[in-house]
Structure 1
Amino acid sequence: MSWGVATIVVAAVIGLVLAYVYYNPPGQEQAVSFYTDDANAIRVGEEVRMAGIKVGTVTRLTLEPNQVLVQSKIDNQAFVGDQSQVDVRMLTVVGGYYVNLASMGNAPLGNQKIPASRVTMPYSLIRTLADTTKITEHVDTKPLNESLNQISQGLTGTNVQVVATTIDAGNALMSTVERQRGQVTEILNLSDEYIRALAQYRDKFTQLVRKVSIATQTMVIYDKGISQTLQGLGEVLLAIKPLADTYEAHQAEFVEKIRDYLERGRSFVERNGLTIRALKRVQNLFDRILNAQNADPGLLATDLCVPVPGSAC
């Protein structure tokens, strides 16, 4: 009897050990559980992966009042932190899912369960359609209905002409813009024609600049000489003034004529200076025109200096 009882006890212990090893095989003794509000994509036996590597399987689904508890067994050597997240992903394009476990946190998860806020399920059309109703569930439709009715009434009868008038005004505006664009094009074409004509007249400008420079330099060279000549003539006339004293009756008239001659000479000298400055301005104008066309006339008479008595270089 003793041997029989001992044999039964040993057999029971061995059975319990084998059952425990069967349900909790070595290397997969760690339990990880999480909550979700939709377990449609999860089945018992689905793979649990970490970083793409299989570490366990889903062992049980338990329905609770407001959520579903998903239990799994994973490799005891895999560390699961207390801030871990779960997302259920598609296994292939044609179907199938697996549970992806992202370990986060420094402390181990232990017996805690991952809340639904850190669990992401695959795309669900039903959930999407249900969520769309939340966008408009608090919208008051009465003001929108009244606004649409007022717009509809405003576009009836003669008010429809307002839309047509607005369209006509827009067409008139665009026609004006088109016409102004044509005018700008004509102005540009005229400017191009003027530039082409100016380019063809370049040689004439060059010759004209050369002649102006020659005339300018000639007047500059002889300007001081003419001035000194007139001044000397005035001094000679003043020197012979005593000879006119014998003609007392004509003295005043003689002196007046001398002064008149001197005044005319001074006026001529002043006008000569103005003429030189005017010619220089004309030459500068032509020089700018030729410079704009990259057509420098080259060496001009005004670039040279010829020393003459009274006008040194």
Structure 2
Amino acid sequence: MTVVAIAAALAATLLISSAGFGKRTYEAEFAQAAQIAPGDGVTIAGVQVGTVDGARLEDDHVVVTMKIDNGVPLGADTRASIKLTTLLGARYIELRPAGEGDIPDDRIPLAHTEVPYDLMEVLADATTTFEQVDAGELGDTLAALAGELNGLPPLMPQALANIESLSAVLAERRDQVGSLLEATGAMTGIVRYQQHSLGALVTNGRDMLQEITTRREMIDRLLAATTNLVSELHTLVVEDRPEVEQLIASLNELLQSLGNHDDLLRNTLQILPVPLRNFTNASGTANEVDFSAPAGPMIDSWMCALSGRAVELDMPAYFQECE
């Protein structure tokens, strides 16, 4: 049942759209069709408000039927013009609302419409233009041009031959040229569809430059500190290299000496707790110092005895000098 309901809703939507509900039909009289076709857009101030539904011949002019969205205000003096969308010849109708009330009989008269060109006016303008041309002077000019061309070296024929060769190449590669134009059109479409992303990119770049400008002083200090660091490293690594090498050599000698006297260092660390404990016991009675040292603070005799016991137990001895 759910699927049937969805299908019915879709069908109803399509029927409502195809039936033209929510649209109002207007007509406009034009001197000629100017290749306007059903499906072409109808706009007001660049916003599409409808589409062309059809065109028919009526007496000496053309009547174009338009489907316009309901609620679009069109006054009695509304004007209509057929405009070119692209250089390839796509067209649309531009409406310019004017006046009060509604369009009489929902038809825009011929006096309020315009077309991209009027063939009769073009021919009349051409006739007027050619009437103003002095045929005698034109003939003299052509004769002078012919005389000049006769005296030219064979460069002009070569240029014409090159043009002919270029035309032949273009004719042979018209498919590739067509593919190039299609690719260019596709790229233009991508740029148009991604204009918001490009705008965001430009905005982010502008914000970044503004942030860099705002923090210019901080960046200058950072660069100065980096320069000083590089200078100090250069002084340390290059200029003071002998001192650094001497320091490393001294450290190596110290470590080697400690390694050579490992037994002495170990004995020192082993006996160190005893004098520390005696010192703690002696100074642990308030402001007095109380201790007994029958054999000195290090108790050498006791340590030597303990060292001998350590040798019996196969443990490191305290003093090798007890022997």
Same fold (TM over 0.5): no
Query: Which protein has greater RCO, CA pairs closer than 8 Å, 6+ apart?
Result: 1
Query: TM-score, length-normalised on structure 1?
Result: 0.35
Query: TM-score, length-normalised on structure 2?
Result: 0.34
Instruction: Please tell me whether Structure 1 or Structure 2 has the larger radius of gyration of its CA atoms.
Output: 1
